[in-house]
Structure 1
Amino acid sequence: MTTATHTPVRINPTSWNVPLGFDQAQLRSAPERLLTLAGQGPVDESGALLHEGDVTAQLALAMANVEALLALGGMDLRDVLSMTVHTTDVDAALAGYGAIVERLTLAGATPPATLVGVTRLAIPGMNVEITVQAGR
């Protein structure tokens, strides 16, 4: 494990982002391994959508799916270099964003993150999808 990737230099010229659990930028040494995740949504092991209509529950499950892939790649949320949350309902995603902040806080992670509003996602009823790049 490369300690430098777990202890990034946090760059935050202001503090509005702190309650949302992310840094505006991070400076890290170049990772030896890079893990890129396809968009992870609120689906079960068979790909069936769960929690239709509940954006907070969808955020929590999508993050759990992200964490599962990170673990399979020998990484965790502290290794996330960047995260993008796509949502069909920005207001609901902001209201339920604590589901993401909780998981990041437990891991001691504050990866740079972006929230993007989209008109729809791949599965009807899916309101969130999270993409991640991680490195170690």
Structure 2
Amino acid sequence: MGDKDQSDIAHYERPEGLPPVNGYSHAVAFTGRMVAVSGQVPLDADGTLVGEDDAEAQIRQVFVNLVAALAAAGATPDRIVKLTVFLTDLADLAAFRRVRDEFLAPQRLPACSLVRVAGLVNPAFRVEIDALAAI
């Protein structure tokens, strides 16, 4: 859990079912009963890219990863209060909204920031999403 000064912070570096990490935790729970989920990318539990040329498949895998990270920290998707969405192509926005609505109740959507980026850490990634959730 960390040293004495960090006893109120719990890091969930690699929850079961999520891909390997390099220098970050998939989720961090902290004082204030919130959980922060690092940007999730379209990799499955083995670290394999899902949906190389399929934005909707990539977005769906990202939400699957978000759900797994939230579960590791004791939260559920309905407790997400903030999403930050990074898309490399704004033409993928409709696919994002369709998939988001499969995982989140459309009548209780969280606050959201959408950023169009020139690229992500892997050029094949079309999307990355991070989240804050109340526990």
Q: TM-score, normalised by structure 1?
A: 0.70
Partner of 2:123: 124
Secondary structure at the counterpart of residue 105 of structure 2: helix
1:96 to 1:80, Cα distance in 2 relative to 1, 3 A: closer
- Contact persistence 1:36–1:133 (CA under 8 A): yes
C-alpha distance in 2 between matches for 1:85 and 1:94:
13
- Contact persistence 1:77–1:109 (CA under 8 A): no
The structure, 1 or 2, with the larger RCO (C-alpha pairs under 8 Å, 6+ apart) is 1
Q: TM-score, normalised by structure 2?
A: 0.70
Segments of 4+ moved more than 4 angstroms: none
C-alpha distance in 1 between matches for 2:96 and 2:77:
19
The runs of 5 or more residues in structure 2 that have no matched partner are: 1-30
Partner of 1:133: 132
Partner of 2:60: 60
Partner of 1:36: 36
Partner of 1:112: 111
- Contact persistence 2:78–2:105 (CA under 8 A): no
Cα offset for 1:83? 0.2
Query: How high is the sequence identity, in percent, across the aligned residues?
Result: 31
- Contact persistence 1:82–1:113 (CA under 8 A): yes
CA RMSD of aligned residues (A): 1.8
C-alpha distance in 2 between matches for 1:32 and 1:115:
25
